[in-house]
Amino acid sequence: MDYVQLGRTGLKVSRLCLGTMNFGPVTTRADAHAIMDQAHAEGINFFDSANVYGWGENRGLTEQIVGEWFALGGGRREKTVLATKLYGDMGSWPNDGKLSALNIRRACDASLKRLQTDYIDVYQMHHVDRATPWDEIWEAMSVLRQQGKILYVGSSNFAGWHIASAQEAARRRNLVGLVSEQSIYNLLERTVELEVLPAAQSYGLGVIPWSPLHGGLLGGVLRKEAAGTMGRSASGRAADGIEQNRPALVLWEKYCEERGEDPADVALAWLLHQPAVTAPIVGPRTKDQLDGALRALTITLDEAALSRLDEIFPGPGGTAPEAYAW
């Protein structure tokens, strides 16, 4: 396993980040623990979660499962760079979500309890809070750092302007500010190349892409469709995505077949070849899916391969404003 520094920090993380979102709703406790053990055995030290995972009435369940695994000991917590998130409503009362100082304090304490740990390595804002001023947010995060409850602060789903606003507010307070941004980023969804990635690189943030397979569309969905094994991709938004992108997906799966590689592995490998990317999030439901994700680490894409993928899945044309003006 290769390790890289998370943004401009001295913190070293694996090139793949283990996403835990399926733990509880899809993956049983026992299987989740086995996946986390396997991740450590393969050198993955970067785990991502969120307080809302488990969803609905089971919000918090995923963090509980991770916490139960930490409690098994054996250096599990010490070997893990733990990232989790806050923002979503954890209850029905007015201050049970968002980024007020009150909720930041309560949400952190609740996550620490569920995770059975006394600190979070990277505490991430799951979404920008347009109603709470940055001075309030940074004051609350500073208190958590002073208390030793968090080490770093990250963002998720921020626009380039949000990153700039957050960093400039942190700079006024002589704070480190954000160290990472977690964005949707894959061959089918490349909007972040316009402004989010340039902002992250300029301010020294590590980029952690989520949904690297775009809900399974980049994982050989046409092959599965033909075999009748599509599963969750057979209906709803995923099915609509297939029809909208079918011509590109045909070329994509043909290209991967010519290379003799699984489409999911090539999609992950493409992200690993993007200079702004620290570690894509892989969210395996089974140990076999984690094995497949690890294969991406061994795939090399030369300039010809990257150019071909740009032809199949054209991005926005580069960074802004050059991509649409001059």
Q: HEC states along 301-312? A: CCHHHHHHHHHH
Q: Where does residue 110 rank: exposed (0-12), middle (13-18), buried (19+ CB within 10 A)? A: middle
The span from the CA of 46 to the CA of 315, in Å, is: 28
CA 298 distance to own-chain centroid: 21
Residue 254 lies in a domain: no
Which domain CATH number covers 113?
3.20.20.100
Question: Which pLDDT score, from 0 to 100, does residue 236 have?
Answer: 58
Tally the domains of the chain.
Answer: 1
Residue 65 lies in a domain: yes
Question: Which pLDDT score, from 0 to 100, does residue 233 have?
Answer: 54
3-class DSSP state of 217: coil
The span from the CA of 316 to the CA of 183, in Å, is: 16
Question: Which pLDDT score, from 0 to 100, does residue 235 have?
Answer: 52
Residue 245 lies in a domain: no
Residue 89 lies in a domain: yes
Which token pair is 129? 């809070």
Full domain range(s) for residue 60: 3-219+262-312
Q: Which one is catalytic: 3, 53, 87, 152?
A: 53
Mean pLDDT by 10 residues, the chain (326 residues): 97 98 96 98 98 97 98 98 98 96 98 98 98 98 98 98 98 97 98 98 98 95 87 64 95 97 97 97 92 94 98 96 92
**Which strands make up the sheet holding 206-210, listed edge to edge?**
206-210, 178-184, 150-156, 120-125, 81-86, 46-48, 17-19, 281-282
Question: Which pLDDT score, from 0 to 100, does residue 326 have?
Answer: 83
- Residue 152 appears among annotated catalytic residues: no
Residue 230 lies in a domain: no
Question: Which pLDDT score, from 0 to 100, does residue 237 have?
Answer: 61
Residue 93 lies in a domain: yes
Question: Which pLDDT score, from 0 to 100, does residue 234 have?
Answer: 54
Which pairing describes strands 3-5 and 12-14: parallel, antiparallel, or unpaired?
antiparallel
Other Cβ atoms within 10 Å of 73 Cβ, number? 9
Question: Whole-model pTM?
Answer: 0.95
Residue 321 lies in a domain: no
Question: Which pLDDT score, from 0 to 100, does residue 144 have?
Answer: 98
- In the DSSP assignment, the letter for residue 231 is G
Helix, strand, coil abundance in the chain, percent, nearest 5 = 45, 15, 40
Question: Which pLDDT score, from 0 to 100, does residue 227 have?
Answer: 86
Looking at the DSSP bridge assignments, the partners of residue 4 are 13
